[in-house]
Amino acid sequence: MRIGIDARPMYLGASRYRGIGTYVANLVGALRREGGHEYKPYVCHPAVLRMSQAAGRWIPRRPAHWVEQSVWLTTSALIRYQITRDAIDVFHSTDPLFVLSATGRVKSVATVHDPIPLLYREDLAQRSLIGQSLYHQSVQALTQVDHIITPSRAVKEDLVRLLGIPRENITPIYHGVDRRFKPLRNQQAVAGALARYGIPHRYILYIGGVD
């Protein structure tokens, strides 16, 4: 079986530094080690990557954001064309702004990390018109994919309630934890790190984004 994966979050935009990029990088690596099928990650042409990553350095943030979304639209169209040429059997959509609905012979699977823009409309309203349009298109495509993966039961129930997607079409698969993340038994190392960064003994660590 030939399985295509949207691997662009590993390279484009803020996603490459955040959860989605990490998720995709680990997913692609794990599937390749697993074997059994042929996996094809879809990314951007190197020149497109360089343009997107450099945009924020030579024009203000808002125009850079538009450049990034334009690159996303262009590469999305190319991926739709390429998966047909590559005779892909299953395509895995990994990003909330590009969900490939089931078309022809290609089965479609999508990972939905969270439905925050549907739960909090003010979050969606802060995005550009292109961003809002892309998200609405992806939400519509979610109702047409063959199957959906969520990282929790809570997200599954949100999709059932908000979009009316049948429960049997959604499977929660919990995210793994990198081996680096484990309790430290060396209390001197812990105390040293707290002192180095001026962190009190009791603290809250937040590693999410604005959402």
Average pLDDT, stretch 94-108?
A: 77
Q: What is the pLDDT of residue 173?
A: 95
Q: What is the pLDDT of residue 90?
A: 93
**pLDDT tens for each residue of 150-202:** 999 999 999 999 999 999 999 999 988 888 888 888 889 888 989 999 998 88
Half-sphere exposure (Cβ direction) of 129: Cα atoms closer than 13 Å: 0
- Angle in degrees, 0-180, between the axes of helices 129-142 and 61-85, rounded to the nearest 10: 30
Q: What is the pLDDT of residue 83?
A: 86
DSSP string, the chain: -EEEEE-GGGTSTGGGGSHHHHHHHHHHHHHHHH-SSEEEEE---HHHHHHHHHHHHHS-HHHHHHHHHHHHHHHHHHHHHHHHHTT-SEEEE-BTTB----BTTBEEEEE----HHHH-HHHHHTS-HHHHHHHHHHHHHHTTSSEEEESSHHHHHHHHHHH---GGGEEE-PPP--TT------HHHHHHHHHHTT--SS---------
Q: What is the pLDDT of residue 209?
A: 67
| Measured distance CA(27)–CA(22) in Å, rounded | 8
**pLDDT tens for each residue of 6-32:** 888 887 666 667 788 888 888 888 888
| Measured distance CA(170)–CA(105) in Å, rounded | 21
